[in-house]
Amino acid sequence: MRVSYGTYEADLGAGESVPNLLRAIALSPEFAALQWPLRKASAAGLDDRTAELVISAVAGQCRAGYVWGHHATRLAAFGISAPLIRGVRDGDLDGLDAPDQILVRLARAVESLTVTDELWAEACTFFASQTVAQVVFLASHYAMMCRIQSAFDVPLDPGSFGLQFPDSAYDAP
């Protein structure tokens, strides 16, 4: 860890403990105060499944074990199998349906600065342009968070598994 923890003041919800990454960004109270509202605004209008797919795609593209470990298991709760979740991480999208593939491809392209007119148009065949814009906002936000975590060298939270996706974490219906 390259920085010390600050005190994170934002309300994350009932019973939510503050993860190490948020404690690390609390080193700057001004940034920390705006980060959670910005994260919420970035995902506005996206259902939880779509948001987690986008976040996990960015974390996989960034090879950001911290963010991946926090979000990939949430995909299992939406019925996405362990092999498909690993595919999201690694860019192997063959098992996903077309709308999910385009979400992952767009999120990964946002992170790698490779969004093309063709990709944008393809995304707009499945989703309203405002939804596509929200995907860009959310992917950009999590690309930033992945970079902060990496630069600060924030350690995994207890119980996190980094870039792995253990079969024991998969408990879909």
Residue 150, domain member (yes or no): yes
Pick the closest to residue 64 from 162, 144, 160, 136 (CA basis). 162
Orientation of helix 48-62 relative to helix 65-76, angle to 10° = 150
Residue 52, domain member (yes or no): yes
Q: What mean pLDDT do residues 133-157 have?
A: 95
Looking at the structure of the chain, the number of domains it has is 1
Q: Which residue has the tokens 């065949």?
A: 125
CATH number for the domain that contains residue 140: 1.20.1290.10
| pLDDT higher than threshold 70 for residue 172 | no
Residue 51: its pLDDT value, please?
98
pLDDT bracket for residue 12 (50, 70, 90): low
Q: What mean pLDDT do residues 136-158 have?
A: 94
Residue 100, domain member (yes or no): yes
pLDDT bracket for residue 159 (50, 70, 90): confident
Return the half-sphere exposure (C-beta side, CA atoms, 13 A cut-off) of residue 104.
27
Taking the mean position of all CA atoms in its chain, how far away is CA 119? 20
Pick the closest to residue 25 from 43, 41, 42, 2 (CA basis). 2
Residue 49, domain member (yes or no): yes
Amino acid at 110: V
Amino acid at 150: S
Pick the closest to residue 152 from 14, 23, 54 (CA basis). 23
| pLDDT higher than threshold 80 for residue 104 | yes
Please answer whether residues 163 and 89 qualify as being in contact, where contact means their C-beta atoms are separated by less than 8 angstroms. Answer: yes
Pick the closest to residue 25 from 162, 169, 164, 146 (CA basis). 146
**Greatest C-alpha distance within the chain:** 46
Residue 10, domain member (yes or no): no
Across the chain, mean pLDDT equals 90
Higher confidence at residue 33 or residue 162? 33
Which tokens go with 156?
């995994």
Residue 101, domain member (yes or no): yes
pLDDT bracket for residue 173 (50, 70, 90): very low
Residue 70: its pLDDT value, please?
85
Residue 161, domain member (yes or no): yes
3-state secondary structure of 20: helix
Domain extent at residue 80: 43-169
Residue 21: its pLDDT value, please?
92
* pLDDT 10s digits, 46-95: 999 999 999 999 999 999 989 998 888 889 889 999 899 999 999 999 99
Q: How far apart are the first and last CA of the chain?
A: 38
Say what the pTM is: 0.89
Residue 18, domain member (yes or no): no
